[in-house]
Structure 1
């Protein structure tokens, strides 16, 4: 049944590979189950209820990706978007969390309409092939940077922005152990190398004091979402503040999702010769449905996770990978202490190594043409430096349009690229 539905052989995969890939993806993104409640509870939302809403929204969105789009991408409430929700809309602008939740709900509805009318699909397909390869490489640097931060290998520094962390920190040693182990297993072509590295690093982290064993029962009923579900406030829908908040949510989510889909698909060789991703419309519907349902349940914007690259690196090529992720999130509702035990230092090696895997499409970029190579370079370098996939895409597209325009190569610029450039310029000024 699985072979027929997901066409595993046609995608050069099998059940074992897909399941291992799904578990790997889940383990690298399970941190959201702990982090999202912590961030959103700063607004006054019930943290336990947010935990349930986080897991449930991930299950719903990832199931749409698995069963309809049949692609190996996982979704959950996005980092960055939840921080904007809590710290900007609520704490800085002074609105109640119900206002922010209403903005997320409206964003989801708008995304459903944009996807239904193929507008988001047109944007994805209009991005030039060289920029698509650059997006993959940029995400590689970005995801490796995130992994190094999680492990304390890279830390903030007021003088230089970033610097090497302290070698005395046990998190660094746990991560370096996992990095070497996973790297050796990959070199020996051991199946499930990244997942083995995560488990081994988690175990090593126990005596090192990095992994904290759960206290009490491992199995428990999910907390109720009643305190936060369907808590909308439509009284300020037509205000300028709502417009600003809504546009911010729309912009960041749209181009984070577009970038992740393109980047991970490019690495997995899923993009065809015309530069198009198969079933991209269904994939875009997944985050639109997830965001809408997530807002109803009581959580911030749901987006496609860049950590999906870790499952693709393990060989995940079909919806069975994302179906496995959805099942793992469902189990997490009842086994939260077990899943939350895995420290960031244990998943960091997987993110760092996946970052290196995703650099390979950069070899397909035409570096002899400066109107192609400079936009590609800016796309790659701005993602980790601006700490945003969306901003990397903005700089890449603007550079592409300006360089092509002023060097007389206007035939290379599509109407959609002109429109995107105008919108991006407007974003900077307004």
Structure 2
């Protein structure tokens, strides 16, 4: 099956197996992502002694993903998705070890290096959603992509909820405070690495490349390329991700201030961890839980309509952040809507980018999209810390709304989108 042409039945079987393996890998990888999102800003604020620098934690995650997105995409184009994904797992494993070391010796730059490496591993997780489309039938591309995105729900929700148990485990084995849940992350990343090495066969991208070459030779035609639509898809994905990442990055710090303001001296680290853990778990659930719904809608309604639905949800999230951001329930609702909006825009935008690009250009553009998405979010996270310090949570919501408006205004660029 790996050396010759795939029949239609074989392609369907390989695609089902691929989606299953990628989904299991995302469950495992999501644990590390969820823990880093929850703990990164708190660790950065604690070690650096400055809330304004806490945004550098999320910035480092996104910067690491940005730096590795294009190299991993190029590696995938040459050697296949399997090797690119396993290399991402190795980056994450090293990053987790460095974060634990940095927390032990309390060296802020070393902490950022470790988080950056975890972000490099997250570049592999991002690539998984595109890997789900390599062999997918066009009419099911959004669905298959969204199933892999949805699978991150389990690990992404479990990661923040493991903060409490992680602290118990970490204390029992002598780990630094607030790093215990990384034990679970390390084990999960090891399991994901083994899974990809053993089970992701045949490689979906290499098989898809062979099929595209055979089809071109048989028909003498090449696939249609729509660069303007692809550019809009890249912008929509990146802009939606910046909105999500910038608000989400500052929410743990904002909630920490709220907890201390409500309880005064009675507020304990456990109180803060519980509030942050529950809120981020709800947010991550919003990011992934309904992604199959958005995938099916993207297949039936069209990619652009679902991208715009995402902007409506993001706009609602920012409205809650502005008007109810001083209440814990208001922040929770805002973070849930923020996750849902990101999910709709990311699933539909990734499907739009894939189908707007000719096969020989897809992997390259996918890498560029992931890199731009992560670089923009890194810059947004740094600026978010400054905005939060000077204009509070409501000011952050107002600033982020500019990007939502831009994505809506520029949507006519993708009006050629078909179902």
| TM norm structure 2 | 0.30
Question: Relative contact order: is structure 1 or structure 2 higher (C-alpha 8 Å, sep ≥ 6)?
Answer: 1
TM-score, normalised via structure 1 length: 0.29
- Which structure is higher in helix share? 2
